[in-house]
Structure 1
Amino acid sequence: MMAKGQIVFHLPRHLLGDLQIPPLYQVLRRGFQARGAEVTLRYRDLRALQDLPQGADFHFVHNGGGTGACVLNTAVAYLLPYFYFDPEGVYFQSRSNRASFDPKAVPEATAARRFQTLHQRYVRPRLSRYEQPQEHSTLPKGAIAVFLQDWSEPVEAARFMSTQAMLQTVIAGAAGRPVVVKPHPRNQGPETVMLLHWLARKQPQVLVTQANLHDILQAAAVCVSICSSVAIEAMLHKKPAILFGKSDLHPCAVTVQSPQDWPAALAHALSFDWPYQAFVHWFFDQHLRGGDVMWLPLLQRMQAAAADFAALGISPPSPPARQ
């Protein structure tokens, strides 16, 4: 008798309950169950995931970074409604991180349409992935805008230096530009509290604001973060992004690995003609999955990752998956 397989969602402990499971996995669970598959939630044990037994199950790993048969790593890809379903990892560990970006190879008209769609979705209504205040704020023109992220697994894995070291580097090398700092709207833990106290005591010239990030970006000259999704939103404002961490957004941004890199990074960010439209289309349309869960492309990715559809009780995709 053929072994029966399950769809397994590997989630951190705080996301395992039915009331805590993220919307993406709720949609996936309903969709797989409607197609006849059994779905189970499992604690994401990173050590165990390094040596998954070969079997009939198929695994979706939240914020995963491992490879292997029958595994796709999943996460929100900076902006909704885009997601990673990647066999290698998410963010700087994703397959797109090693892909070659050639803006000249991207169709201009297609890129312009994707850019305009995202601009209308986020910039015009002043919306973001996280809730923003809707009142309008006046911010310093030409500022260096720094966006804090606080501690999280992806940020900790990506950073080249501490957030305080990043802030010290930016403030010391601001070259006469004002510095504006926005705390993360949802993730304001001990790191952020410490940094805000430090700024108030030691750097009173720095403006700390909770303003809508689109007001900040519209006024700013450049956007700075460890690896935040605001880098993409800056691109939608056609403002350059500087990253102090590893990111798959690096082909259209400047990366700073040490304080010594900062002066040249700022100068390059402000002087280069960045291919924002081409990159946004290349990144979102060629490497991610968008919209509501698109089942044919998702099943094709599962097929490419050696899913045993017969054991899972799911009809295989047609046409065959592209390699």
Structure 2
Amino acid sequence: MRLYLEPGLLASAAAGQHNFLSLVTEVLGHAGYAISLEETGARARADAPDKPGYALFHMEHPTHDRALTFRRVYHYPFWAIEPFAERWNWRVARRTFRPEEIDRAEAQTFFKRWQKRLFKDAPSKATREGAVYVPLQSRLLEHRLFQTCAPIEMLERTLEGDPHRKILATLHPKVTYSKAELRAVKDLSRRFPRLQLSKAPMEQCLQACDYVVTENSAAAFSGFFFEKPALLFGRIDFHHIALGPEDFDQIAEHRPDFATYIWWFWQKMSINAGRDDAPQKIAGALRRGGIPL
């Protein structure tokens, strides 16, 4: 089994300092696999299909049918091992969420603990101040296959779908936007003065907004910890309790069971590397992906 990792992760795994990868290699070792830690890159990925055995990539598309990918499920210590890099094709995305099957008291305890761990007291001080939070991602002028429309059109449809609330849009801090993209946002703000391009941090926006509109930004998942509903214009793994582009008349009053959903999404459908059952769940994910154990 070859694990293709970027340099920092490779060093951590080689030193035995990465809990999840230590569990993965332990499961594979018990099944008789020899483990090879390799640095990923264009050449390594291109050569991978010609090498014998199986492979795991980190956050990259598997390059052959004997390979899987693994990725953090938004926060540590939750992980997934899947045949696809696209989250919307993951097993959890295809499952039906059934809150009635979950112990609500257990879910509430779990949810409150993670609210505090991730965001301290901010969720307990959340308000609704008449604003829609729109965390923009990349390629604002492109309509990609997993999206209902291009992000700039999503902004316009949000302004039309909710004609009263302020729209607080933020740019992704790791994206370099073109002049055309920035000009399109500025032109839209001239047409709709309610549109504000904000530099406020995500946590502050989530604390104050009424709801979140996005293609598929992880900010919407974080919003669940503030009990803020999400309206999605794109495909993603956490779609089950979100609404869609035709639901602007319902979204402000949408009140899904956030606590049971987070418990189901993380404790049942993900691999919690901090739990005793992590090796069994890792083995199950590998088997589902076609790795003989």
TM-score band by shorter chain is: 0.7 to 0.9
Q: After superposition, give the CA deviation of every residue in 1:1-27 in whole Å (9 maximum; x if it has no partner).
A: xxxxx4132x7xxxx5x3xx5x4x554
**Map of 1:250-269 to 2, 5 A cutoff?**
250-256=239-245, 261=246, 265-269=247-251
Residue of structure 2 equivalent to 1:86? 82
The verdict on how the C-alpha distance between 1:113 and 1:187 changes in structure 2, with shifts beyond 3 A counting, is: farther
The verdict on how the C-alpha distance between 1:224 and 1:80 changes in structure 2, with shifts beyond 3 A counting, is: farther
Residue of structure 2 equivalent to 1:286? 268
2:184 and 2:14 mapped to 1: Cα distance?
40
Residue of structure 1 equivalent to 2:163? 175
Q: Which segments of 5 or more consecutive residues in structure 1 lack a partner in the other structure? A: 1-5, 128-137, 309-315, 317-323
1:193 and 1:29 mapped to 2: Cα distance?
43
Instruction: Compute the displacement of 1:83 (Å).
Output: 2.6
1:300 and 1:244 mapped to 2: Cα distance?
32
> What is the aligned residue count?
274
1:185 corresponds to 2:144: no
Residue of structure 1 equivalent to 2:30? none
Instruction: Compute the displacement of 1:88 (Å).
Output: 4.4
Q: After superposition, give the CA deviation of every residue in 1:106-148 in whole Å (9 maximum; x if it has no partner).
A: 1112211221122012222659xxxxxxxxxx99812111111
1:96 and 1:227 mapped to 2: Cα distance?
15
Instruction: Compute the displacement of 1:90 (Å).
Output: 3.9
Report the residue type matching 1:251 in the other structure. H
Q: Which region of structure 1 is more displaced relative to structure 2, 243-252 or 194-203?
A: 194-203
The verdict on how the C-alpha distance between 1:125 and 1:181 changes in structure 2, with shifts beyond 3 A counting, is: same
Residue of structure 1 equivalent to 2:114? 118
Instruction: Compute the displacement of 1:222 (Å).
Output: 1.0
CA contact 1:65–1:93 (8 Å) conserved in 2: no
Instruction: Compute the displacement of 1:165 (Å).
Output: 0.2
The 3-state SS of whatever aligns with 1:170 is: helix
Q: After superposition, give the CA deviation of every residue in 1:64-96 in whole Å (9 maximum; x if it has no partner).
A: 378844x32223323344332123444101011
Residue of structure 1 equivalent to 2:97? 101
Q: Which region of structure 1 is more displaced relative to structure 2, 55-64 or 99-108?
A: 55-64
Residue of structure 2 equivalent to 1:143? 131
1:139 and 1:238 mapped to 2: Cα distance?
10
1:73 corresponds to 2:69: yes
Instruction: Compute the displacement of 1:306 (Å).
Output: 4.4
CA contact 2:122–2:207 (8 Å) conserved in 1: no
2:232 and 2:113 mapped to 1: Cα distance?
25
1:290 and 1:28 mapped to 2: Cα distance?
18
Q: Which region of structure 1 is more displaced relative to structure 2, 94-103 or 283-292?
A: 283-292
1:60 corresponds to 2:57: yes
Q: After superposition, give the CA deviation of every residue in 1:254-309 in whole Å (9 maximum; x if it has no partner).
A: 122xxxx2xxx12222233311111111111122223569555434533554446x
Residue of structure 2 equivalent to 1:38? 36
Residue of structure 1 equivalent to 2:198? 209
Report the residue type matching 1:301 in the other structure. A
Residue of structure 2 equivalent to 1:233? 222
The 3-state SS of whatever aligns with 1:165 is: helix
2:84 and 2:197 mapped to 1: Cα distance?
37
Report the residue type matching 2:103 in the other structure. P
Report the residue type matching 1:96 in the other structure. V
Q: Given the alignment, which residue of 220, 231, 245 partners 1:242?
A: 231
Aligned-residue identity in percent: 18
Q: Which segments of 5 or more consecutive residues in structure 2 lack a partner in the other structure? A: 27-33
The verdict on how the C-alpha distance between 1:303 and 1:251 changes in structure 2, with shifts beyond 3 A counting, is: closer
CA contact 1:148–1:192 (8 Å) conserved in 2: no
The verdict on how the C-alpha distance between 1:141 and 1:82 changes in structure 2, with shifts beyond 3 A counting, is: same
CA contact 1:79–1:229 (8 Å) conserved in 2: no
Q: Which region of structure 1 is more displaced relative to structure 2, 82-91 or 114-123?
A: 82-91
The verdict on how the C-alpha distance between 1:118 and 1:224 changes in structure 2, with shifts beyond 3 A counting, is: same
Report the residue type matching 1:284 in the other structure. W
Instruction: Compute the displacement of 1:37 (Å).
Output: 2.1
2:115 and 2:63 mapped to 1: Cα distance?
33
Q: Which region of structure 1 is more displaced relative to structure 2, 226-235 or 281-290?
A: 281-290
1:30 and 1:303 mapped to 2: Cα distance?
27
The verdict on how the C-alpha distance between 1:212 and 1:143 changes in structure 2, with shifts beyond 3 A counting, is: same
CA contact 2:189–2:196 (8 Å) conserved in 1: no
Report the residue type matching 1:84 in the other structure. A
2:62 and 2:215 mapped to 1: Cα distance?
19
Structure 1 length normalisation: TM-score? 0.71
2:69 and 2:114 mapped to 1: Cα distance?
24
Report the residue type matching 2:146 in the other structure. A
